[in-house]
Amino acid sequence: MLVFATSDKGGTGRSVTSCNIAYRMAIQGRDTCYLDFDFGSPTAGAIFSIPSAMRGVARGGLHSYLAGSNQVVSMDVWRETDRATVKGRPDGAGRLVLFPGDIGGSEFAPDAETIQRCARLLLRMDEEFSLVLIDLSAGRSHALDTVLAATALPRLKKVTCRWLVFHRQVTFFSRGKAVAARTAGTTAMSCRAASGSCGPPSSTRTPTTSPACGPNRSSGCATATSPCKTWPAS
């Protein structure tokens, strides 16, 4: 399964939450990988506390792979982290692999070749891992456009894709007064399009915590929506 993490704005908790989901899934025995597609700010190495990839890698990151390089660096988080509570693969845990971004990488508009390379990467990752988390740049970025185009290709039709859409703040108003505010919320969408015709959030709310990586706080919430019935649109 491919899970894409995106948001309208930066700083909504995509990377910290995605690292924690990846960690939790791996602990539960699933082979999991994390693709750092936040090309302008690849922070997963810092969140997993991997000294050689704190701001991405000098060569072989995903940015340069999409731009044409054949070298792709992968890192075994269990081995490479210097975080004592994460180091060492626990009994029964699955693989936890980071594919970092590049130091100094940046957003670039995809062409047909970029989209094909992205599709090849996603297909291969989906075959090798039971969960693939892809942390995208914020907003309507080139990274987002690239994966939307890649996942729309016929050869990815059978691959299950899910979206986690992060919101910085949602404030509810009643008669002009703010009655509730939610920060760092997450909407889980069962459709491939990051925006569009999914229904409103249901009332199911599950607290998200950060036991392994990032701040040890639990202010976020995950809100599940019904599966999108109208996708694929024409």
Ligand X SMILES: Nc1ncnc2c1ncn2[C@@H]1O[C@H](COP(=O)(O)OP(=O)(O)OP(=O)(O)O)[C@@H](O)[C@H]1O
State which residue, 42 or 119, has the beta carbon closest to ligand X.
Answer: 42
Site membership for Mg ion, residue 64 (CB under 5 A)? no
Tell me if 116 contacts ligand X by CB under 6 A: no
Q: 152: which DSSP letter?
A: T
| 141 lies in the binding site for ligand X (CB under 6 A) | no
Cβ-based nearer residue to Mg ion, 23 or 198: 23
- The piece of 33-41, 77-85, 144-152, 158-166 that touches Mg ion (CB under 5 A) is 33-41
Would you list the DSSP string of 29-67?
T--EEEEEE-TT---HHHHTT-GGGBTBBSSS-HHHHHT
* Residue 7 binds Mg ion, judged by CB under 5 A: no
Q: Which one of Mg ion, ligand X, none is in contact with 155 (Cβ closer than 5 to 8 A by kind)?
A: none
Under rule CB under 6 A, residue 43 binds ligand X: yes
Say how many residues touch ligand X, by CB under 6 A: 21
Residues paired with residue 2 on neighbouring β-strands, in sequence order: 132, 161
Q: Cα separation of 61 and 43, whole Å? A: 12
Question: Which one among 15, 49, 114, 208 touches Mg ion, defined by CB under 5 A?
Answer: 15
Q: Could you tell me the strand order of the sheet in which 32-37 lies?
A: 75-76, 96-99, 32-37, 131-136, 2-7, 161-174, 177-189, 221-225, 201-207
Cβ-based nearer residue to ligand X, 3 or 159: 3
Rounded to whole angstroms, the Cα distance separating 114 from 31 reads: 26
Closest among 135, 117, 143, 137 to 65, alpha carbons compared: 117
**89: region left, alpha or beta (phi > 0 left; psi from -120 to 50 alpha):** beta
CB of 218 to ligand X, least distance (A): 7
Of 38 and 80, the one with the shorter C-beta distance to Mg ion is 38
Please identify, among the stretches 64-72, 105-113, 119-127, 208-216, the one whose residues bind ligand X according to the rule CB under 6 A: 208-216
**186: nearest Cα among 141, 143, 147, 133:** 133
Contact range with Mg ion by CB under 5 A, out of 14-22, 72-80, 164-172, 202-210: 14-22
197, 228 Cβ separation under 8 angstroms: yes
Q: Which residues bind Mg ion (CB under 5 A)?
A: 14-15, 38, 43
Q: Which residues bind ligand X (CB under 6 A)?
A: 7, 10-17, 38, 41, 43, 138, 166, 184, 210, 214-215, 217, 219-220
